Structure 1
Amino acid sequence: MELESIPGIGSKTADALAAVDDPETIIETGDVLALSRVRGISEGRAALIARGAIRRRHDDPGGFLATDRAKSLYGDALSLLQERAVTRYGKKRLETFYPSGVQSRIDEAQAIVETAMEREPSDAVRDALQGVEPLADPTGLRIRDRCLATGDGERYAEAKRRYPEISVETAEDARSIDELARSYSTVIVLDEQFAGLDWSGDVTVEPAALDQPELVAPERLLAFFAVNRSRLEAAAAVHRITGMEPACDLETLADVLSRVHDDGTIVGDEELTRLNVAVDDLDAAVGTATTVADNHLRDAIKKQDVTIQGQDFLSLVEQGARVDSLLARELSDEYDAAIEKARYELVTALQLDEGEAEFVEQIFGGEPTFPVTYREDAVSRFRTELTAERDRRANKLKATLAAELATLQEPVEELVRAALEIDVEQAIATFARDYDCVLPTVTATGGFTIEAGRSPLLDVEFTNVEPVDYSVSGVTLLSGVNSGGKTSTLDLVGLVVIFAHMGMPVPAARAEIQRFSELHYYAKSQGTLDAGAFESTLRDFGSLVDGADGRLVLVDELESITEPGASAKIIAGILEALTETDTTAVFVSHLAGEIQDAAAVSIAVDGIRAKGLVDGELQVDRSPKKDHLARSTPELIVEKLAGEAKDSRFYESLLEKF
């Protein structure tokens, strides 16, 4: 696959995709989550690439939204869905649902939506989704105590790419490996020819190590789960609440997460905790043990009956007099007892085992002194031994836990993916319930039929929106009084058609929509156009008429572009041309009668009927009536005045003009 042939993929993005496993599958399936994990690809760009991949898979030429107004209406439709998603991913994932004129894509999207509409939206799920995000890779990880070694150039480059957190060294022979073993605690050799040799240090020959991150870099797996702890816990909560089958055992996941600290270190192992404390507290514990010994000797000296008074003797020794011979002669038993107390204090404080206690013998094993002294070289050796013991324990635990985590890495990816897709499904289900939606029937021909459609874009409470029934096949004029709802009806038609071609439910009791190739929606012009703009508009309609088969054309009061007399003739000409094509069109116009008169062919006219004026308020039936030229607001007002006036001859004469 030529990656750069996909919309949204440039050369840099193509290079980043080429570095991941199986980029073709990720792109072909439109996997937004996997795409967003690729270096340099944001969730927004991932949605764009996924949308391009979907179009490619369905051989979709695109371009369904053929005008600015059509694109704007799609933006409104998408916003209605996105504002019901909780996660940023969910909002971007919804962007992959776009209006398409290809039946296979509509069917694919409808299958997803049909499943989503079966879901019951839940506040508890929404709350749990607040913490769900795509999994993140840990950053800044650096492992300095081990290296990978190889004499093969290609394997060297691959190791550098796959394990940037570890040093990769060149090793041509056994001697160079031995030299590396003196610089690193652990050397992992990737070349099989070195297997079976004896090494002076911790050297492992593992040709398959590049495929075993749990062996090479267990810290990476620990850091991955530590960084993503809250996301995984939130995804697990979503599965528990919804009852959806998880990709991994949630109790096992909770257990391994409890054994990883936020910084990626191991927690919960008593022996490792003891060793960590011992290393950290060694100096303080030695100082405390020394004080215990000093206090014991101090008390013993005060009580000792020697040639000089005990208090005088104490003063002398505290002034630095040599006392080793005096201690040996007069207080040898007490000194030995003091040393034993110091050793016991150190062993107890650090919870040392029998083997470690032997080092304590060396720490307090010098000549008798007061105050008691300890051997700093013995403390240093003991610290080195404790540190090595701690690191061995930690590395063993990390390797063991990393082996468990390696089996969970793909399942937790799927766990989070499923939770994020629940957000998408719940957003669709919430939208469908909020606006009483149904899944429309998409047909090959027939225009559109909407029953009890209600627009969610009107600036009123949705429950107060009057339902509209409207059906059009072919070319039709839509007439009606001012503020009677012609534009909102056109918006409703455009919105329902867009949702249907997205594969989404529509805000109606029933809808049957022809699969259109393009939607051309022309909004009402703001004032009469100058000559240049008028010419440009006519060129647009000239292009529209040329090859218009399968299109839906919605036009709102095109007569405003120029003088009414000329407008009626121009619109009539456009409608004549459209009737010769397989086009469905609705033109809203106040000049419906004039356009009919100017047209050389029969043009259907529907009308939004005015019921009359009540207390100055216009009362209308919002559902257009077929083959009905609606009366204007001025006509209604004149009629009202004619009925109210004592002498109605003037008003009746005006009525005759209509």
Structure 2
Amino acid sequence: MELESVPGVGAKTAEALRELDDPERALSEGDVAALARAPGVSEGRAAHIARGAIRAEHDDPGGFAATPRARELFEAGLSLLQERTVTDYGAKRLETLYPSGVRSRIDEVRAFTERALEREPAPEVRSVLSGVAPLSAAGDVRVRDRCLATGDAERYAAAQSAIPEVSVELVDDARQLAELARSYATVVALDEGFAGVDVEGDVRVEPDALDEPASVVPERVLTFFARNRDSVRAAIAVHREAGLDAPCDLDELAGALDQLDADGSVTGDDELDRLSTAVDDLDAAVSTAESVANDHLREAIEERDVTIEGTDLLSLVERGAGVDSLLDRELADEYAAAADRARDHLVDALDLRDTESMARRAFPDEPTYPVEHEERVVARLREELTATRDRRATQRKRDIADTLATMRGDAEALVDAALELDVELAVARFAADFDCAMPEITERGGFDIEGGRSPLLDVPFAEVEPIDYSVEGVTVLSGVNSGGKTSTLDLVALVTTLAHMGLPVPADAARVGRVSELHYHAKTQGTLDAGAFETTLREFGELVTNVTADRPVLVLVDELESITEPGAAATIIAGILESLTEREATGVFVSHLAEDILEAAEADLTIDGIQAEGLVDGELRVNRSPVKGQLARSTPELIVEKLAEHGDGFYADLLEKF
């Protein structure tokens, strides 16, 4: 598939889509989650692109909802589905569903719907679904504790491009490599020529490092999983709760994720924790160790009487000696014990192991008071602990990244499957909430709805009266005011729209003839002026002219007579109905001028009626299902009839005039 050939995809968007692993598959399958991973492509934009790709694949010209009211009904039906999603993604993904007159597209979605209807929208599944979100890219990762080194200018440029997360340095010899090793915890040499070079520090010769960036920068993998950890965990829970087939070992993936913190650092390693704590607590431990030594030495001095002969004192003064010399002479053993206590405390407090001997040199053997540490030794200890910690962390990161790198595709599949499940469950909930059935789509015109109930009425769905209605060809629908004529048209439009979306419809059963367009003209408020009236007539003229056997349409019109005077309106409607009948279109025209239209029409038109059964306590009782071939009685006729039953001859005479 040529990306630029997809409607709505320009050169810039195509360039972004090419960064995906398989953009053609994502487009052909309407995979909004995958498309949204392209740089700069939002979920809403991805849904728009997916719709364009679907239309292109099915050679679908679009435009099924051909009028504003038809589009309103489509959007209302879509909203009912979107309200039943748990994730924002699910709501956006549903936007790839649209009414189509192309059979291949309808069948494609029907296959999806059949699978969805097998799902059980259990509350437990919906609960864990709430934590699933599309995966985000790792973003910019910068690693400063290691670098790449090479003596080749071309390899230098390739390294900068392949692994931009770390610094790349040009080196000419082992001496420069050694200088880098003193500045970085790890140096990865890319040239085989450095193999066997004896350099102090963590220097690795890895000529193939550019082919496996994750081995050099495991943070690239770890940051991705850390940022998406909650979503992947939620997707794991969804698979377990819903019993979905998983592409990987869920326990293994969950275990690897448990070793990551939210910032991408590793957890669950006692040795790394020990080293990290030692680095963090070093200064405090040294200070406390000094206090331990000084407290011991102070107590020893306070408890001891020291006698100095006069000649000894003169000798000490002549030599310029001070307290240190006095300590060395009189309290050498006590100082040694104090220094040992400081050393033991430092080693124990930091739980030092390989660096214990270095730590013990932090307190000198020469007596001093107060006891003080050797800053040079402590600085070297800090460097050694930090380097050991970083090497351990890097190795742990590599180990976890090696595991997770092989599971990235599986993690994406897990999340995508969970998000798609949300879409399927929304369809299943819609079908359950509104007692839906899969409609039959036929190539002959007309429709037949059994037990249809509109979920768009302003009453609880359980209180909606079911209706049966079927139409072949063109018919005039009559009925009393507030009898349900408009809601019947809405139901027909909604059922037709959902059927052409490949979705279930709110009815016990339904047959819908496939059409290319739905033209639903809502009731006009007030008589139109001459210009607007002419525009309306032109619209109907174009509609009638364009109806062909290859381009069937369904026309729904609500009280077209409101556009002009009743006499002229009946003539105009009759002419439109005659033309639609000649072209074998399907149409329902709601009108209070049914008798006048029949008189004005030369064609043999059908008339249906929503029959009022009478008035009960001043309330109109209506049979909501239109009766074929019968003109509906008007509300005034019912009132006159009621009065005639209990009144004088005036009302009986008046009733005869109906």
TM tier, shorter chain?
Answer: over 0.9
Cα distance 1:351–1:248, how it changes in 2: closer, same or farther (>3 A)? same
Question: What is the one-letter code of the residue matched to 2:273?
Answer: T
Q: Partners in 2 of 1:486 and 1:566 — Cα distance?
A: 22
Q: Deviations over 1:305-330 (max 9, x none)?
A: 32169xxx9xx99xx98122222222
Matched, 1:77 2:96: no
Following superposition, the deviation at residue 605 of structure 1 comes to 0.8
Counterpart position of 1:574: 576
Following superposition, the deviation at residue 22 of structure 1 comes to 2.7
Matched, 1:394 2:396: no
Counterpart position of 2:332: 332
Instruction: Output aligned runs, 1:86-105, within 5 Å.
Output: 86-105=86-105
Counterpart position of 1:490: 489
Matched, 1:342 2:338: no
Following superposition, the deviation at residue 430 of structure 1 comes to 1.0
SS of match in other structure, 1:241: helix
Counterpart position of 1:636: 638
Question: What is the one-letter code of the residue matched to 2:472?
Answer: S
More moved, 529-538 vs 3-12: 3-12
Following superposition, the deviation at residue 205 of structure 1 comes to 5.5
> Contact 1:438 / 1:510 at 8 angstroms: preserved in 2?
yes
Question: What is the one-letter code of the residue matched to 2:114?
Answer: E
Q: Partners in 2 of 1:183 and 1:331 — Cα distance?
A: 43
Q: Partners in 1 of 2:525 and 2:56 — Cα distance?
A: 39
Instruction: Output aligned runs, 1:237-636, within 5 Å.
Output: 237-307=237-307, 322-353=322-353, 355-549=354-548, 550-636=552-638
Counterpart position of 1:19: 19
More moved, 491-500 vs 370-379: 370-379
Q: Deviations over 1:356-375 (max 9, x none)?
A: 11112321125211111221
Following superposition, the deviation at residue 86 of structure 1 comes to 0.9
More moved, 470-479 vs 2-11: 2-11
Q: Partners in 1 of 2:161 and 2:633 — Cα distance?
A: 75
SS of match in other structure, 1:296: helix
Following superposition, the deviation at residue 595 of structure 1 comes to 0.9
Following superposition, the deviation at residue 559 of structure 1 comes to 0.8
SS of match in other structure, 1:143: coil
More moved, 601-610 vs 286-295: 286-295
> Contact 2:328 / 2:366 at 8 angstroms: preserved in 1?
no
More moved, 324-333 vs 528-537: 324-333
Q: Partners in 2 of 1:20 and 1:208 — Cα distance?
A: 25
Normalized against structure 2, the TM-score is what?
0.92
Q: Partners in 2 of 1:194 and 1:172 — Cα distance?
A: 11
> Contact 1:279 / 1:383 at 8 angstroms: preserved in 2?
yes
Q: Deviations over 1:157-206 (max 9, x none)?
A: 7765664433456789999878866765445466x776857474755555
Cα distance 1:338–1:181, how it changes in 2: closer, same or farther (>3 A)? closer
Following superposition, the deviation at residue 210 of structure 1 comes to 4.5
Q: Partners in 1 of 2:32 and 2:378 — Cα distance?
A: 57
Q: Partners in 1 of 2:170 and 2:569 — Cα distance?
A: 81
Cα distance 1:158–1:416, how it changes in 2: closer, same or farther (>3 A)? farther
Q: Deviations over 1:509-535 (max 9, x none)?
A: 000111111111100111110011011
> Contact 1:213 / 1:221 at 8 angstroms: preserved in 2?
no
SS of match in other structure, 1:505: coil
Following superposition, the deviation at residue 506 of structure 1 comes to 0.5
Matched, 1:145 2:145: yes
Q: Deviations over 1:308-353 (max 9, x none)?
A: 69xxx9xx99xx9812222222222222222111111111111111
Cα distance 1:610–1:4, how it changes in 2: closer, same or farther (>3 A)? same
Question: What is the one-letter code of the residue matched to 2:459?
Answer: V
- Report sequence identity in percent: 62
SS of match in other structure, 1:491: helix
Q: Number of matched residues?
A: 647
Question: What is the one-letter code of the residue matched to 1:240?
Answer: R
> Contact 2:185 / 2:390 at 8 angstroms: preserved in 1?
no
Q: Partners in 1 of 2:177 and 2:43 — Cα distance?
A: 44
Question: What is the one-letter code of the residue matched to 1:594?
Answer: D
> Contact 2:174 / 2:197 at 8 angstroms: preserved in 1?
no
Following superposition, the deviation at residue 129 of structure 1 comes to 1.5
Cα distance 1:101–1:203, how it changes in 2: closer, same or farther (>3 A)? farther
Q: Deviations over 1:237-277 (max 9, x none)?
A: 22222122223222222211221112211111111111111
Matched, 1:4 2:10: no
Q: Deviations over 1:45-92 (max 9, x none)?
A: 111111111112222111111111100000100011111111100111
Normalized against structure 1, the TM-score is what?
0.92
Q: Deviations over 1:212-232 (max 9, x none)?
A: 342132112222222222212
Instruction: Output aligned runs, 1:49-128, within 5 Å.
Output: 49-128=49-128
> Contact 1:366 / 1:374 at 8 angstroms: preserved in 2?
no
Instruction: Output aligned runs, 1:220-231, within 5 Å.
Output: 220-231=220-231
Question: What is the one-letter code of the residue matched to 1:58?
Answer: H
More moved, 250-259 vs 392-401: 250-259
Counterpart position of 2:132: 132
> Contact 1:7 / 1:48 at 8 angstroms: preserved in 2?
no
Q: Partners in 1 of 2:18 and 2:148 — Cα distance?
A: 24
> Contact 1:8 / 1:45 at 8 angstroms: preserved in 2?
no
SS of match in other structure, 1:519: strand
Q: Partners in 2 of 1:198 and 1:125 — Cα distance?
A: 58
> Contact 2:185 / 2:391 at 8 angstroms: preserved in 1?
no
Could you tell me which runs of 5 or more consecutive residues in structure 2 were left unpaired when the two chains were aligned: none
Q: Partners in 2 of 1:431 and 1:444 — Cα distance?
A: 26
Q: Partners in 1 of 2:151 and 2:541 — Cα distance?
A: 70
Q: Deviations over 1:126-148 (max 9, x none)?
A: 22112111112234531123345
> Contact 1:219 / 1:398 at 8 angstroms: preserved in 2?
yes
Q: Partners in 2 of 1:97 and 1:214 — Cα distance?
A: 39
Question: What is the one-letter code of the residue matched to 1:512?
Answer: R
Q: Partners in 2 of 1:153 and 1:596 — Cα distance?
A: 90
SS of match in other structure, 1:254: helix
Following superposition, the deviation at residue 439 of structure 1 comes to 0.8
Cα distance 1:289–1:321, how it changes in 2: closer, same or farther (>3 A)? farther
Cα distance 1:174–1:571, how it changes in 2: closer, same or farther (>3 A)? farther
Q: Partners in 2 of 1:490 and 1:529 — Cα distance?
A: 22
Cα distance 1:32–1:172, how it changes in 2: closer, same or farther (>3 A)? farther
Cα distance 1:506–1:150, how it changes in 2: closer, same or farther (>3 A)? farther
Question: What is the one-letter code of the residue matched to 2:33?
Answer: L
More moved, 523-532 vs 253-262: 253-262
Q: Partners in 2 of 1:442 and 1:153 — Cα distance?
A: 67
Question: What is the one-letter code of the residue matched to 2:479?
Answer: G
> Contact 1:70 / 1:519 at 8 angstroms: preserved in 2?
yes
Q: Partners in 1 of 2:207 and 2:340 — Cα distance?
A: 52
Q: Deviations over 1:606-648 (max 9, x none)?
A: 1111111122211111111111111221222222222221x22
SS of match in other structure, 1:478: strand
> Contact 2:449 / 2:511 at 8 angstroms: preserved in 1?
yes
Question: What is the one-letter code of the residue matched to 1:610?
Answer: A
Q: Partners in 1 of 2:184 and 2:325 — Cα distance?
A: 48
Question: What is the one-letter code of the residue matched to 1:237?
Answer: A
Cα distance 1:651–1:199, how it changes in 2: closer, same or farther (>3 A)? farther
